[in-house]
Structure 1
Amino acid sequence: MNKAILFLLVFITSSLIAQKNNQKDKFVVQIKKVKGDLNKDNLADLVVVTQDTINEKAPYKVEVFFAQPNGAFKQIVSTTKAIDNQYPEGKNGYYNGNSFYDITIEKGILTIKNELTRGNFEHKFRYQNNNFELIGFSEVYSDGQGTMGMVDFNLSTGIRVSSTERYDDSNEKPTKTQKKILIRPLPKLQNFAPFTTEFY
C-alpha cells in the first residue's frame, strides 16, 4: 500500500513539474530596454519590452521595474496587452498595419510608440495614484488619398483636438475640432490595450 501511495506522489509531482516547465515564460527575445525615473525617487527605473517569437502571433510583453535603494529592481507591472501582437492573425494572416516602434522615458512619462502603414501613434503613461495611468494619446495618419489627420488627446484635462488638412493640390481648407471628453478613472497600463475605444 505504501509503495502505491509513493508511486502516486512521485507521478503527481512529476506532472506538476512538467506543467510548470511547459508554462515557462517564452518572452525571451529582448526588443527594447530603457531606464529613467518614473516615480520621482531619483532612482533610474527600468522598462523592458520582450517578445515571444515562437508564438504564431509574436506577442510583446511590457514590464516595469522600480529601482530599489539597494540596487535591486522590483516588478510593478507586467502586461502583454499594451502593444499589439506583431502578427494579430498569425504569421500567414492579415496584417493590421500597426507595428511597435519604440518605448521611451522622458520627464517621468513612459511613452509607447507605434508606426502605422501611413503614420504613427503613441500612448503616454504617468505613475500616479499608485498606478501607471494613461494621460495622453496622439496620432498622425494619412488616408492615402491626399488627407492628413492629427489627434491629440490629453486625458488628464479631457481636451481632445483633431484636425485634418489636404497635402495635395486641393483648395480644401483644414478642419480643426476640439471636444472635452472626461474619462474616469483613467486607463491603467496593466489593463490597457490600444484602440479598444474610439478615443485612444
Structure 2
Amino acid sequence: MKKTSPYFIIFFLLMETGLYSQKPVQKDNYTFLVQTEEGDLNKDKRDDKVVLTMDLKDETRPLTVQIFLTQPDHKQKLVVSSTKLIESEYPKDKNGQHNGNTIPDFIIEDGNLKMLTDIKSRKSRYEFRYKQNNFELIKISRVIWDGKNTTSETEIDLLTKTKVEFDQELGSDKILNKRVRKIKMDILPKIQNLSFSDLEKY
C-alpha cells in the first residue's frame, strides 16, 4: 500500500482551511445611495464627504458608512469605511423582521461629524471630531419623551468625562432631577471600531 506524503497532507489541510475561511466582503454590492453629506471635517477649508450606502443584494440590507477627505490635489481619499456602525435593516436575529428604527442621519456641523439616531423612541446624537487621522467620539446627547409632558435627557461629554442626566417638562426651561457623575474614559472611541450596539451601551 502506497503511503501518502506528510507534506501532501499538510498542503491539503492548508488548502481546505483557505477555501472555507475566506469569505470576502462584496463591497461592490453597496450600490444603493442612502445619503451624502459634504462639509469641512479636518479644517483645511476643503469640503469632505460622508456617504451612506446599502447592499440590496443581501436580504438583511446592511449599510456602510464611508468618509472621504479631500486632498490638496482635490481628489477624495477614503479614510473610514464601516459596516458595523449602523444595524442592518433586517437583522438575522429578527428572522426577517425590520429592526423598527429609522436609518441614522449624518450632518457636518462646526467641523465635526454628527450622527442622529432614533432607536426605540430614544433620539440620540453622536458627535465625532477629526484628530490625528482618526474620528473620535467626543459627545453623546439623548432625549426620551414619556408620551405625556416630560422628557428625560442625557448629556455625555467624553472629553470632560462627565455624564449629566435630567428631566424637563415640555414648554419649560426648568431642569428637574439633575444628576451629574464622572465616567471612566481612558481612550476616546474611534468611529471605525464602534458598532451600533457599542453606541447603545453609553
TM-score tier, shorter chain, comes to 0.7 to 0.9
Q: Hey, what's the Cα distance between the residues in 1 that align with 2:24 and 2:138? A: 38
Offset at residue 141 of structure 1 (A): 1.2
Which residue identity lines up with residue 81 of structure 1 in the other structure? K
After TM superposition, give the deviation of residue 127 of structure 1 in Å.
0.5
Query: What is aligned with 1:184?
Result: 186
- Find the aligned partners of 2:25 and 2:177 in 1 and give their Cα distance: 54
- The 2-side partners of 1:115 and 1:135 are apart by 19
Partner Cα distance (1:139, 1:195) in 2 = 15
- Aligned positions of 1:149-164 closer than 5 A: 149-164=152-167
Give the gaps of 5 or more residues in structure 2.
Answer: 1-21
User: How many pairs align?
Assistant: 177
Where does residue 83 of structure 1 map in the other structure?
86
Match of 2:109 in 1: 106
The one-letter amino acid paired with 1:63 is: Q
CA distance in 2, matches of 1:140, 1:91: 29
Q: Which runs of 5+ in 1 are unaligned?
A: 1-18, 168-172
Q: Supply the AA of the counterpart residue of 1:93.
A: Q
Structure 1 runs of 4+ aligned residues shifted over 6 Å read 19-22
User: How much has 1:181 moved relative to structure 2?
Assistant: 0.9
- SS of equivalent to 2:60: coil
**Structure 1 CA distance for aligned equivalents of residues 53 and 138 of structure 2:** 24
Q: In structure 2, how many angstroms separate the alpha carbons of the residues matched to 1:199 and 1:164?
A: 20
Distance 1:145 1:94, change over 3 A: farther
- Whether 1:53 and 2:56 are equivalent positions in the alignment is yes
- Distance in 1, matches of 2:134 and 2:27, equals 27
Aligned-residue CA RMSD (Å): 2.8
| Structure 1 counterpart SS, 2:192 | helix
Query: Aligned pair 1:71/2:74, yes or no?
Result: yes
1:117, distance to aligned residue in structure 2 (A): 3.9
Q: Distance in 2 between matches of 1:87 and 1:80?
A: 14
- Mapped to 2, the partners of 1:68 and 1:194 lie a distance apart of 29
Tell me, yes or no, if the aligned pair for 1:118 and 1:143 is still in contact at 8 Å. Answer: no
SS at match of 1:175: strand
Other-structure match for 2:46: 43
What is the aligned-residue identity percentage? 36
- 2:4 aligns with none
Indicate whether 1:174 and 2:176 are aligned. Answer: yes
* Structure 1 pair 23–92 and aligned structure 2 pair: CA distance change class (3 A): closer
SS at match of 1:196: helix
Alpha-carbon shift at residue 148 of structure 1 (Å) = 2.6
Matching residue of 2:96: 92
